[in-house]
A and B are shown apart, each in its own frame.
Chain A
Amino acid sequence: QQQVKQSPQSLIVQKGGISIINCAYENTAFDYFPWYQQFPGKGPALLIAIRPDVSEKKEGRFTISFNKSAKQFSLHIMDSQPGDSATYFCAASPYNQGGKLIFGQGTELSVKP
Chain B
Amino acid sequence: ETGVTQSPTHLIKTRGQQVTLRCSSQSGHNTVSWYQQALGQGPQFIFQYYREEENGRGNFPPRFSGLQFPNYSSELNVNALELDDSALYLCASSLGAHSSTDTQYFGPGTRLTVL
Contacts and interface: CB of A to CB of B under 8 A. Distances in A.
A19 interface: no
B108 to A, nearest CB: 5
Contacts of A30: 100
Interface string A79-103: 0000000000101011111111111
Indicate the size class of the contact surface on chain B. 20 to 34
B8 interface: no
Interface string B84-115: 00000010101011111111111111000000
Contacts of A4: 42
Interface of B: 4, 31, 33, 35, 40-45, 48, 56, 58-59, 90, 92, 94, 96-109
Contact of B109 (A34, A43, A97): A43
A44 B33 contact: no
A99 B92 contact: yes
Q: Shortest 8 CB-CB distances between A and B: which pairs?
A: A43-B106, A103-B42, A93-B100, A32-B100, A99-B33, A98-B102, A98-B99, A44-B106
Given A44-B106, A100-B48, A89 B42 contact: yes
Nearest to A31: B100
Given A43-B107, A96-B99, A106 B40 contact: yes
A93 B33 CA distance: 13
Contacts of B94: 98-99
B31 A99 contact: yes
A87 to B, nearest CB: 9
